[in-house]
Every structure is written in C-alpha cells, then in structure tokens.
Structure 1
Amino acid sequence: MKILLVDDHQLFADGLKGILRTSSLEADVEAVNNGRDGLQKILSGIFDVALIDLRLPIMDGFTLLEELNERNNLTPVVIVSASRDPGDMQRAMDLGAMSFIPKSSSGEKIVQVINSVLGGQVVYPGDNDPRTDRSFALESEKWAAQHNITPRQLEVLRLVRKGLSNQAIAEQLCLSVATVKSHVSAIFNALGAQSRSESSEKAHQLGLD
C-alpha cells in the first residue's frame, strides 16, 4: 500500500510515517511538505490514500482539496489536522475529504480510519456527522466565555484568523460592515491586541485552536 503524507511539521510527519510503516497496513509512505507538491503527487495516481494537513505552505489544504475536485481526483483524501474548528471540519468534508482526524488521535485510530476509507466509507470525527457533533463547538464556546468573547465575536475572530476582510466577514455572517468593525474592536479589547495579526497570535497563545 502506498500512502502520501502532506505535512510541513517534520517531527509529526516522521512519527506518523513510522506508525504507518510498522502498522498492519505495512505502508510505503512518501511525504512532502507543501500543498503544491502534494497536488502533483496525488494527481500521479500512484497512491492508495493521501493524508493532508490544512495549514500548509504554498497551497493550503482547502485549496488543495478544491484543485483535486476540479481535476476529478479519484485518490481518497483524509485530513489530519490540529484544527478543532467545526467550520474547518465541515468545509473539508464538503470539499470531498473522506475523513477529518485530529492530530492528537492515536496511531491505532488513524490506521482504523484509513482502513475504513479504503473500504469506501466516509468517517466523521467521533463517527458523527459534523452538523450534529457539538464537541468541538462546545470546547470553543467555553474558551470564548473564559476570555469575555461572545459566540458571535468568536465567529468573527475565526474569520479574522483566516485573513478575511471586514467586508468578507460581513457577507459571510450576514452582518453590516459597521457591526463587524464593532465586533473586531471588542475582540481587540478582550485580547489586549492592537491589530488583526496580533489578535490572531494572542488567541493562539491563549489556547484557541
């Protein structure tokens, strides 16, 4: 079995390669560290499954999934990500990923998911549909409450961290630009930040995945 791993975190990639090679899969694992190379490798058609991270240099995981869709890719893709954002999970599944596995998962769980995907199954985290699984969302809401951030401001913060402008956030959340600006200002105050990039960094430092 040939598995492609697309991840720019060397220690994680090396560890996962070792797990897959010595597991019941006895996999031949090849790794690349950016989305562009991952796209080329997947389109070669020589891999049985591809495991990709979302946060990648040159081409991120979402763009990679979109490119694969446009090119009628037949290689099953599994997202292995540190993100616990239910929005990321649902977007990846909507773009055709066969599963979404947290990086904190055990090697045994990852192997189990790969076997299921190779059998043609779509596997959701916790075996639940992301539209009904609230575990990730509840954890995020608890974090927001601890830092005096409202649920709506949390939505805005997540989009700020993805690089969206106030106009784009307003359109996505069906809000006015003025309301988005007000939420962004409140987020800055809650996190003690002076800019969008600083608010993103402080949110990460405070434990928001």
Structure 2
Amino acid sequence: MKVLLVEDDAQISALVINALRQANFDVDHTDNGLTGLEKSATGLYDLLVLDLMLPGLDGLSLLKRMKEMSQWIPTLILSAKGDLDDRLLGFELGACDYIPKPFYVEELVARVRAALAKTEGIIDQSLMVGDLRLDRVSRQVHWQGVKATLSQREFSVLELLMRSPGHIFSRKQILLHVWEIDFDPNTNVVDVCIQRIKRKLTRHQNTNAELPIDSVRSVGYRMNKGA
C-alpha cells in the first residue's frame, strides 16, 4: 500500500515515515500543500496523511480542491489544530479520521491500517469510464461487446488510468506504480504493455472505434473521459 504524507515538520515527518515503513507501507512525502495536491490527484496513492497548517496550501483547502476536482483519496488528518469546527469541516470534506498532535506513532499506524481496511470494503467491484468496464473481481475488461482477461500488470496499468480519467500519467509514474521502478530504465515496457491491452480489446472489434487510451507525445498516457 502506498501512503502520501503531507507534513512540513521535519521531525514529525521522519517519525511517521519510519513508523509506516517499518509497518511495510510504501511512503512518499512532501512538505508543501500545493505539491501535496498535485501528488494526491495522480491516483498513485492508497491513503493520504495530511497536516492542516502547511505552506503553499493549507490542508483543508487541499481537501476542498480535491473535492471540487471529483478526486477522492482516503485521508487521515494529523494536526495540532484540534478545534471541533476544524474536525467537522475535515470530515465534511472527506477525511475519514483525525488524529490530534501530539500522538503515538503506534496509534497512527493502527489508524492507517483501519482506514485502509475500511476503504477496501467500500471500493466498487468495477470501474467504468464510458463503455469501458473493468471488473476487479474477475480481472476482466469489457469494451463494446469485447471481453478480455488481462495479465496482472496490464490490469494494473488500465486500472491506474481509469481511476483518474483525463489525467496524464508519465511513463515514470506508471513504472513506479506498476513495476515499482523509480527511475527511467530506458525501455519501452510501458508502451508495449499499452499496446497489448489495446490488441486484446480490439482483436474482434468490427467497428472503427479506438480504445480511449490517449498517447501524449513525449509525456505518457491518459484515459479519455469520453470513452
């Protein structure tokens, strides 16, 4: 599971990162609210641990912007602002838990696990973008009368794109999310995977319609919202 920590206190960040990594979570960190918003909107993370008092963009404004963008990620607020109004607003904007500072890292890890377990129980069985449907249980994909079974990595790539229609994912982001490679190995493995997905779903297609995965030149790929 991949967790994004948005926290500007260096000491607290180090404690949280260490505790989550010891609990076998993959952790990414930024100390700026605007960068946190950009990262949160990529669809690469399973959970957001969010401070409220941040440079660039405060935590509640970040959640509000995410809501306006129709982007949702399970969020655990971690903040010294313990006022009831702040807590209620955080929950109203989509946060699933609120931990006041100071805190015990053991409790934080337990609440992260609980939030993820709860989220797994409410995630839809399938994703749909236009005529394209991805079934998370059978691991099959349906598009305009065609049904295909994808490999694990093909499925993961398509799921990533479908979770954020219209968002452009760089090849590096896809490599990190699917292959867990955090550098560019100078291969075309992502392009080959995309082509395999397209072939499987258009192999028996009798129309001229193209699978709505757009290639953005020199950048990466995105799922067309008008699928």
| TM-score (norm. length: structure 2) | 0.51
Residue 4 of structure 2: aligned partner: 4
CA deviation vs aligned residue, 1:31-77 (integer Å, no higher than 9, x gap): 10111100110111111101010000110011101001011123211
The corresponding residue for 1:153 is none
How much has 1:109 moved relative to structure 2? Answer: 1.0
Q: Counterpart in 1 of 2:175?
A: none
| Match of residue 69 from structure 1 | 67
C-alpha displacement of 1:21: 0.6
Match of 2:117 among 106, 116, 119: 119
Amino acid at match of 1:96: G
8 Å Cα contact 2:15/2:105 also seen in 1: no
Q: Which residue of 1 aligns with 2:21?
A: 21
- The structure with the largest helix share of the pair is 1
Matches within 5 A, 1:59-208: 59-120=57-118
Partner of 1:34: 32
Which residue identity is paired with 1:2?
K
Greater share of strand residues, 1 or 2? Answer: 2
Per-residue CA deviations over 1:71-113 (Å, capped at 9, x if unaligned) read 1123211100011211111111111111111122211211111
Where structure 2 has 5 or more consecutive residues not aligned to the other structure, the ranges are 120-227
Match of 2:49 among 37, 51, 58: 51
User: Secondary structure of 1:18's partner?
Assistant: helix
Q: Which letter does structure 1 place at the counterpart of 2:81?
A: S
SS of match in other structure, 1:104: coil
What SS does the corresponding residue of 1:120 show, helix, strand or coil? Answer: helix
Matched to 2:2, the amino acid is K
Counterpart code for 1:37? T
Measure the CA separation in 2 of the matches of 1:22 and 1:107.
Answer: 11
- How far residue 16 of structure 1 moved from its aligned partner, in angstroms, is 0.7
What root-mean-square deviation, in Å, do the aligned CA atoms of Structure 1 and Structure 2 show?
1.1
Structure 1 unmatched runs, 5+: 122-209
Deviations 1:87-145 (A, max 9, x none): 11111111111111112221121111111211226xxxxxxxxxxxxxxxxxxxxxxxx
Equivalents in 1 of 2:70, 2:113: separation in Å? 22
1: CA distance between counterparts of 2:30 and 2:62?
Answer: 13
* TM superposition outliers: structure 1 runs of 4+ over 2 Å: none
Secondary structure at the counterpart of residue 118 of structure 2: coil
Q: How many residues align?
A: 119
Task: Output the CA distance in 2 between the equivalents of 1:105 and 1:45.
Answer: 28
Residue 202 (structure 1) aligns with:
none
